[in-house]
Amino acid sequence: MSKPLTYALLLTILMVTAPHAGHLPLWVSALCGTLLLWRAYLTYSGNPLPKRWLLMLITIASSSGIFISFNTLFGREASVTLLILLTTLKLMELRTARDAIVLIYLACFIIITNFLYSQSIPTALYLFATLMVILTTWVHLQTPSITFKPCARITSILLLQAIPLVLILFILFPRVQGPLWGLPQDAFASSGLDDKMSPGSLSRLSLSDEVAFRVNYTGDPPRREQMYWRGPVLWDFDGRTWTSGKAAQTTAPQFTELEQAIDYSVTLEPHNKTWLFALDLPDRISVPASLTHDFQVLSKEPVNTRLRYDVRSHLGYHANLHEAEWQIQRALQLPPSNPRARQLAEKWRANSGDDAAVVQAALTYFHQQGFLYTLEPPPLYANSVDDFLFETRQGFCEHYASTFVFLMRAAHIPARVVTGYQGGEFNDTGNYYIVRQSDAHAWAEVWLSGQGWVRIDPTAAIAPARVQSGLSAALPLMARNPPQWMRSLRLNWDTIANQWNQWVLGYNTERQFAFLTRLGIESVTWQKMVTSMAVGAGLVIALFALFMLRHMFAHRPDKIQTAWLKLCRKLAKIGLPRAAHEGAQDYAQRIATIRPDIADAIRDLATRYSALRYGMGQDEQTQREFIRLIKKFPSFRRMPESS
């Protein structure tokens, strides 16, 4: 095992395991790092590898350690950890070429395990580079006389040749949806909206730049002020926290006077919850989902992979004009706290003619009493609504929505809190909208007789810019405002990431069928796919084979050389093989000293061969004579007894 090869193998293992370091138990990462350093030092100093019993001891101890850490040796975490640990340990007994080959195969396998944790473009590019290193090491292992640079060239050519095959397999391999190759349920850590809301929960979320979902409008997009993406609807208030609570019974939602239909498709990032986001109010959706009585769209399963769905919404609507009595009651319940707020609401009630006037009074109050829109409001205590209304007067959208709904209920107007997202960032390179966690928002809905549920956004009364142009416009100092070039870079990157999500990661059965149909394949079946895959792959391989064979035939020896090689074979049979580097004259000279009986014949043939092959153009006659002499040369001559 040469030093450069050992270093290359160390680099291979380091590169392939490095992305795992973040989620392995700390002691495993530390142990693997130590082992790699130790192995590098042993190679550098030329010291012998550790004894077998010591390795056995480390292996047993660390495997038991993994079992203790995870309580199992199976499952994703434990088995990946075990695999990485054993692979690193394998380096410590790297003695023969066979060990090196095993390590290379293990490295290839560990590459795949990385995709269990991340499938982003940077990960894919990094692992591609790792694959380059692995294959270069492998080529060097097979042909040690070639240095790494030409090896890398060979590897690049190999990988380039593999591209058509990869494309064919990727496009045509039948996608079977099922648990067999689905990712584990917890594949994606998630952050996002919750089904409860307390002061501070949305302002924390709005600090995250993570993408919640992306939207493509089929026609013209609606105005920004209409982009309210409905998420969890919250009914129950305990004085501090809003929760969705449990509905005693369910009734179907009723819509009337629907207008302003709008079609769009949403690509939702996995968030491990069931709700699907849609504009108010959703009417039709392309995936199996139900519409609840408070107009939430709920998926059948938690969304734990990226999900794309088409929706039709109506921006103009009358929703639940005739609301059930028990719902009205539910929308009026209040905890027995916050006396000053109740007092204020009752004063409005007394002074106003109808419900709409009360709503207007509340909004005017917010607008005129010096309320401040901020991401970092001062803390609120036991009577959070009173504290906010009369003491601090600083809050984020959840404070306004919560307080507003409290005031409405206190004034006997049915109301509820709706959370979700508002607005989004337009990506002009990809022509779609990006909705991030920072666009998370909370607003209110009140039920007015004759109008049904009506959306009221109290935040719009304090900071209209939030609704019209987004958070960064409303809070220029609080929000991070990147320079223009960085913004466009981010948008371009998001466009690429979106394409990657749609076409590489999201290439499922439906996409596959749609794509193949667009290519002109009618009535796609998996039999057809397998057949065309086999034919396509066969064609590509045949093409490369043909190319290589032609390359080989281009160097086919001419008839003079063929004849000479025949003579060499004849001589090899009597124990006088020609070395590959041996010239004809030297060969003849060598044979002459061993076999004086054929010395003259061989010398003559060698001289003829040299002249024919390396001399200036020889006539046909001389060539034929040479071939004839070789044919005539007896294929077996016994060694003379004397020598």
- Catalytic machinery residues: 397, 441, 457
What's the half-sphere exposure (Cβ side, CA atoms, 13 Å) at 567? 26
Bridging pattern class, strands 432-436 and 211-217: antiparallel
Determine if 376 is a binding residue for another protein (CB under 8 A).
no
Determine the Cα–Cα distance for residues 109 and 106; give it in Å rounded to an integer.
5
Determine the Cα–Cα distance for residues 60 and 79; give it in Å rounded to an integer.
15
Residues 537-576, interacting with another protein (CB under 8 A) = 555, 561
Determine if 610 is a binding residue for another protein (CB under 8 A).
yes
Residue 247 identity (one-letter amino acid) = A
Binding mask 448-487 for another protein (x = CB under 8 A): ----------------------------------------
What's the half-sphere exposure (Cβ side, CA atoms, 13 Å) at 375? 20
Binding mask 584-603 for another protein (x = CB under 8 A): xxx-----------------
**The one among 505, 611, 627, 629 contacting another protein by CB under 8 A:** 611
What's the half-sphere exposure (Cβ side, CA atoms, 13 Å) at 80? 22
The C-alpha angle 310, 316, 317, rounded to 5 degrees, equals 95
Cβ proximity to another protein: between 93 and 604 the closer is 604
What's the half-sphere exposure (Cβ side, CA atoms, 13 Å) at 601? 13
Determine if 393 is a binding residue for another protein (CB under 8 A).
no
Determine if 615 is a binding residue for another protein (CB under 8 A).
yes
Q: Which of 274, 271, 66, 304 is nearest to 184 (CA)?
A: 304
**Is 253 in contact with 295 (CB distance < 8 Å)?**
yes
Determine if 4 is a binding residue for another protein (CB under 8 A).
yes
Residue linked to tokens 């002691």: 27
Cβ proximity to another protein: between 144 and 316 the closer is 144
> How many other CB atoms are found less than 10 A from the CB of residue 79?
15
Q: Contact region for another protein (CB under 8 A) — 215-223, 237-245, 370-378, 610-618?
A: 610-618
Residues 111-170, interacting with another protein (CB under 8 A) = 144-147, 150
Closest approach of another protein to the CB of residue 154, in Å: 10
Q: What is the separation of C-alpha 174 from the centre of its chain, rounded to a whole number of angstroms?
A: 20
Closest approach of another protein to the CB of residue 42, in Å: 17
Q: Contact region for another protein (CB under 8 A) — 169-177, 216-224, 518-526, 578-586?
A: 578-586
**The one among 45, 220, 579, 638 contacting another protein by CB under 8 A:** 579
Closest approach of another protein to the CB of residue 585, in Å: 5
Closest approach of another protein to the CB of residue 147, in Å: 5
Residue linked to tokens 């609120």: 380
3-state secondary structure of 72: coil
Determine if 582 is a binding residue for another protein (CB under 8 A).
yes
**The one among 175, 318, 528, 613 contacting another protein by CB under 8 A:** 613
Number of amino acids touching another protein (CB under 8 A): 23
Determine the Cα–Cα distance for residues 230 and 442; give it in Å rounded to an integer.
9
Cβ proximity to another protein: between 76 and 613 the closer is 613
Cβ proximity to another protein: between 59 and 618 the closer is 618
Cβ proximity to another protein: between 233 and 584 the closer is 584
DSSP 176-206: PPSTTSPPPTTSS------SEE-TTHHHHHT
Q: Contact region for another protein (CB under 8 A) — 202-210, 320-328, 336-344, 612-620?
A: 612-620
Determine the Cα–Cα distance for residues 423 and 392; give it in Å rounded to an integer.
28
Closest approach of another protein to the CB of residue 425, in Å: 53
Residues of the shown chain interacting with another protein in the complex, contacts defined by CB under 8 A? 2, 4, 144-147, 150, 555, 561, 579-586, 610-611, 613-616
